[in-house]
Amino acid sequence: MLHFKNDYNEGIHPDLLEALAKTNTENLPGYGRDRYCERAADKIKKAADCPQAQIEFLTGGTQTNQIAIASLLQPYQGVLAAETGHIATHEGGAVEYTGHKVLTLPSHQGKIRIQDVRSYLETFFADENHEHMVFPGMIYISHPTEYGTLYSKAELEALSAICQNYQLSLFLDGARLGYALAAKDTDLDLAAIAQLTDVFYIGGTKMGALAGEALVFTKNNRPAHFTTIVKQHGALLAKGRLLGLQFDRFFTDDLYIEIGCQALALSEQLKAILKEKGYRFYLESPTNQQFIIIHNDKLTELSKELTYSFWEKYDADHMVIRLATSWSTTQEDIDRLKAIL
């Protein structure tokens, strides 16, 4: 079976595993106070050209979203997001569980439009009843989005300016950030993201970590007693070394970027093959997730040799499916896929 279903179905990148194995017998303080967490944080600050950054390591994406949002919002505030945003759809209501509303905006291939944000905020503050409504306190974007699409630097600058204007936080969910940074035509590097957002996270799980996301507060805005807040959410890992060691390795010798580049190179090959074979694309994605419209019969046939993600029904005869390359995809996988398609 060939696997293009997702980017978290294999274990751990061999270099990260090696880092774990090599340091395994070291006796280290718990709860993220070990030297590897510190070293990883230092390397991320450097990579993001953001010396004042405050970095916290958490275990998974929903957990990171939940804690970042809940800890930065005031009780009377909600978070603006695309209606297709991960926090709005596939996190089991984790944001609402903390008492905050997700305020949704139309999604354009996973992205929110600047004018929609602006119009929402203008309407809200013009409404004489807005004291009876949930205040927008943050803008959440995913980058890449759930559709593999990317924001441009100009878009992020515009969002950043709006946030400053209305005193909102700008939060970028980078569950697949490595695949965004490695995209051919992106003008957003880690430094630009650190500069333009208030908080973002560097996804580890989908880039080859066993578990682990690095949450970066960029404006000296980490909430006080963050460790206690993390504990209160049940999210403080005793052996924080697991997270620190992996990110220390990710940010040594540009491994994180390299993993992204390799997966995107294979994704470009995948796109080329799909085009060549005449598959119809659901949208144009510059990252590791490709969405195609496929006939039900063809899909049945492919299912015997290939795993993929079902996305949505397109029409009576067609489905939209997603094929994803990842840190663990090999050239051989692509070659075999070509043969199958």
Q: Which of residues 54-93 bind a copy of itself (CB under 8 A)?
A: 59-67, 70-71, 74-76, 78, 89-93
Does residue 17 interact with a copy of itself by CB under 8 A? Answer: yes
Site for a copy of itself in 21-40 (CB under 8 A): 21, 23-31
Closer CB to a copy of itself, 135 or 200, in the complex:
135
Task: Compute the least distance from the CB of residue 49 to a copy of itself, in Å.
Answer: 29
Instruction: Return the residues of window 175-204 that contact a copy of itself according to CB under 8 A.
Output: none
Nearer to a copy of itself, 1 or 278 (CB): 1
Rule CB under 8 A: say whether 134 interacts with a copy of itself: yes
Are the CB atoms for 168 and 109 separated by under 8 Å?
Answer: no
Minimum CB–partner distance for residue 16 and a copy of itself (Å):
10
Extract the tokens encoding 187. 């003008």
**Distance (Å, rounded) from C-alpha 299 to C-alpha 310?**
10
Residues in 143-162 at the binding interface with a copy of itself, rule: CB under 8 A: none
Any residues with CB less than 8 A from the CB of 100 and at least 6 apart, and which?
69, 70, 73, 77, 78, 79
Give CA–CA dist 318/305, Å, rounded.
Answer: 19
* Residue placing its CB nearer to a copy of itself in the complex, 216 or 236: 236
Take residue 306 and report the two structure tokens written for it. Answer: 């290939």
For helices 241-250 and 14-22, angle between their N-to-C axes, nearest 10 degrees: 130
Identified binder of a copy of itself from the candidate list 205, 218, 267, 325, rule CB under 8 A: 205
Three-state SS for 68-81 is HHHHHCCCCEEEEE
- What residues from 206 to 265 belong to the interface with a copy of itself (CB under 8 A)? 206, 210-211, 224-225, 227-229, 231-239, 241-242
Q: Which one of the spans 20-28, 107-115, 162-170, 193-201 is the region binding a copy of itself (CB under 8 A)?
A: 20-28
Could you tell me which of 2, 18, 1, 37 has the C-alpha nearest to residue 240? Answer: 37
Where do runs of H (alpha helix) occur along the chain? 14-22, 35-47, 61-72, 86-89, 94-97, 114-126, 153-166, 177-181, 190-196, 226-232, 241-250, 255-276, 296-302, 331-340
The residue count for binding a copy of itself (CB under 8 A) is: 80
Question: Closest separation between CB of residue 166 and a copy of itself, Å?
Answer: 14
Q: Residues 15, 38, 96, 268: which binds a copy of itself (CB under 8 A)?
A: 96
Is the Cβ–Cβ distance between 4 and 323 less than 8 Å? yes
Contact flag: residue 129 with a copy of itself (CB under 8 A): yes
Residue 226 or 281 with smaller CB distance to a copy of itself: 226
In the region spanning residues 283 to 322, those forming contacts with a copy of itself, defined by CB under 8 A, are: 307, 310
Q: Are 207 and 12 in contact (CB under 8 A)?
A: no
Residues of span 160-179 touching a copy of itself by CB under 8 A: none
